[in-house]
Structure 1
């Protein structure tokens, strides 16, 4: 049966089981394991495979519970299958917290909190059989966990959700947790567009700081999005950011041909919001001073139109 192109597929398991074309990017797993930083932000343009890479990380590193399918065959024939034993020792070992914030975009801060609470509740429910069956679970922890699953409470109750979940998973499995957060910047873009940027920035800062900064229950944290941090952002602790920003997406050279893959990628990063008349990543960074894309807006604006 000939291989086919998988259009719009972002799930690693689904793509591999369908027999579609797959460009081997499993060396990314080794890079994450070898990285000196525990928390890594990978800013990339849209349609650059960010969601697929996080799905691949999860498939390789997430521990399997009794009755779960063995996902090791998905990596047969890929470069990671011939990795050193030190790398393969990490396979299917860690509890994984996987959040996709693409749906956390609302016109009000209250609605954004509710949307974020639902995303967290889905992940809490997924881990509930393991966490709630732990005989060491305290009554207060059970109450907090069940309240978060029910999405009940004020925005302040979301602040320690990641910290609570990673702690309980570490205790139940005796392995530190891997935290994957896709499209971390969507709530911030919505907050900027609808006028509640300060409130949502505070919420995201407290949520991520609690779960990712100096967390003894964290194995690795990997975040993806279009925007990267500048100055005082959601990843800033009292003195300095607590994460490593991966190699930023490099701007195309001035002579790049229109319609080339690099040209298309840059247009995908900059065009969608401005085409709709809404503020894009460039105006968000220039206005708020909190976020920016991989290059400064001043340097980007110096490029000729259409390049």
Structure 2
């Protein structure tokens, strides 16, 4: 059947009114309001998992000024009589997003906050027209609306609005704050961080602490970064993170969601590809996918923009600059961290104590904190369904592997003359062994400081990063023939590829022997068969042997370039 996929909508009402494909996630409304209600909750998920869509859905369901039956018609929540009769369009709602509250200096940050509060106040014309509104309150409301309020009244604005709404509607207000932690994430590492953190925590404290005007506060964000705040009301927030079994499948796509979507799109045969590239997350005890990736992939196939030659894309790349900066800040710092990166990229797990209560300013204190943040922001996932004191972590899928590879390349390219990299790659494509060998040895000399102890995967990682950074399709440890080739580099535009097998030795005298072993492995295990089947007419095969910063390269026996 024809389905209308729109990835740009983060407003629930807009999505429904425009007949866009929607995976029904309305069960969270009943789960929260009827079964697991708390005064202040945080739904913490990585970016692009549907937090904002969930927050606007809750807003549209609760908002007393809306009639939302048409946009919820046919969805699961309408089957729950208690929640429909008790909550649907029955409460005043304050909804604000903090994702645009950032800037280069404190004045610009505060100006953006005043603008957001101003736009919020303009949504309630009934308050300013209320004849029963006290004159002092009218003045404050007018100043907030006109961006003329002082800092104290701006920070207290959510609590102030909740009181006005309670007086007007005679009902407590729901306060929904989307992307509450973005201002702190944007300010990390700047002189403004402490002020921004204090400003946000103080703002939250007016509605999270005991407040008879507030029915509940619902937050969304990536990290639970306000625990142990000096503002005691903020410490009352109940966080539901990626480790929490409760609400685990409420935000994001489950395996069943993905299978249904693919079936509806007529793409059930692509399930394995979607799973390999965009699955791999375990939230609580549930297997989850990133909705942004899955929808973007399906849409590209349906609208004809998908390239079968290039394969799936990394749609999620660069959606969180903060996390990428964190990765860059740790690369090359210690042997333990470097080794952990290598193990993760090799497909292994690392064991870590995950701290889900980590404030942004403590991220760079240790490697343990780094891994915790990468779990919370979606760059890593736990590898088991049950939580453990030492949690095994892994890269969730191929898409995130690409992200890590590109960050390795970004690290190296600042330390290695790009002339050597391009010369090395060019020499491999033209079969000039001596030139490739000379260039690679220059590269190893420059990158020696990155690695504290060389292993085979150290060299694997360097080469992987170089080719990925130059835009080639890189397959690492890919099954082909009768085994798994270390690296297959593809250039679909020219129908050519490079097959590389690596060996590492501790004694330089063993380099020649290792070189022959690598060459024999390519031939005996028929690593060339996969690329040949895929139509690559030029297939270059190389064995490489490494000892510390020395490398030997050889073309594999029988190499002919063009297939017969």
TM-score range, shorter chain: 0.7 to 0.9
1:214-229 correspondence runs (5 A): 214-229=210-225
2:136 aligns with one of 140, 163, 167: 140
**CA distance in structure 2 between the partners assigned to 1:184 and 1:231 by the alignment:** 13
Structure 2 unmatched runs, 5+: 245-274, 282-288, 294-315, 331-357, 381-388, 405-564
Q: Is the 8 A contact 1:188 1:197 kept in 2?
A: yes
2:235 aligns with one of 236, 241, 256: 241
Deviation string 1:275-294 (CA, Å, 9 cap, x unpaired) is 46876999754248999748
1:121 aligns with 2:104: no
**CA distance in structure 1 between the partners assigned to 2:318 and 2:216 by the alignment:** 27
1:287-298 correspondence runs (5 A): 287=364, 293=373
1:95 to partner: Cα distance: 1.1
**CA distance in structure 1 between the partners assigned to 2:149 and 2:101 by the alignment:** 17
Change (3 A) 1:249 1:52: farther
**CA distance in structure 1 between the partners assigned to 2:27 and 2:393 by the alignment:** 35
1:98 to partner: Cα distance: 0.7
Q: Is the 8 A contact 2:61 2:89 kept in 1?
A: yes
**CA distance in structure 2 between the partners assigned to 1:130 and 1:100 by the alignment:** 22
**CA distance in structure 1 between the partners assigned to 2:100 and 2:235 by the alignment:** 26
**CA distance in structure 2 between the partners assigned to 1:113 and 1:288 by the alignment:** 28
Give the structure 1 partner of residue 45 of structure 2.
Answer: 44
Q: Is the 8 A contact 1:63 1:93 kept in 2?
A: yes
Change (3 A) 1:144 1:133: same
Give the structure 1 partner of residue 280 of structure 2.
Answer: 262
Q: Is the 8 A contact 1:6 1:20 kept in 2?
A: yes
Q: Is the 8 A contact 2:95 2:120 kept in 1?
A: yes
Matched residue of 1:98: which SS?
strand
Give the structure 2 partner of residue 7 of structure 1.
Answer: 7
**CA distance in structure 1 between the partners assigned to 2:130 and 2:50 by the alignment:** 36
**CA distance in structure 1 between the partners assigned to 2:204 and 2:365 by the alignment:** 20
Change (3 A) 1:5 1:126: same
1:195 to partner: Cα distance: 2.1
Relative contact order higher in (CA < 8 Å, ≥ 6 apart): 1
**CA distance in structure 1 between the partners assigned to 2:322 and 2:27 by the alignment:** 33
Give the structure 1 partner of residue 333 of structure 2.
Answer: none
Change (3 A) 1:108 1:258: farther
1:172-211 correspondence runs (5 A): 172-211=168-207
Q: Is the 8 A contact 2:33 2:83 kept in 1?
A: no
Moved more, 288-297 or 188-197: 288-297
Structure 1 unmatched runs, 5+: 251-256
1:111 to partner: Cα distance: 0.9
Q: Is the 8 A contact 1:11 1:55 kept in 2?
A: yes
Change (3 A) 1:229 1:275: closer
2:322 aligns with one of 264, 270, 273: 273
1:106 aligns with 2:95: no
State TM-score, norm by structure 2. Answer: 0.47
State TM-score, norm by structure 1. Answer: 0.83
Instruction: Compute the RMSD of aligned alpha carbons.
Output: 3.5
Give the structure 2 partner of residue 253 of structure 1.
Answer: none
Larger fraction in strand = 2
Q: Is the 8 A contact 1:45 1:269 kept in 2?
A: no
Moved more, 154-163 or 51-60: 154-163
Change (3 A) 1:270 1:37: same
**CA distance in structure 1 between the partners assigned to 2:79 and 2:227 by the alignment:** 41
**CA distance in structure 1 between the partners assigned to 2:104 and 2:139 by the alignment:** 31
Change (3 A) 1:184 1:191: same
2:78 aligns with one of 81, 98, 115: 81
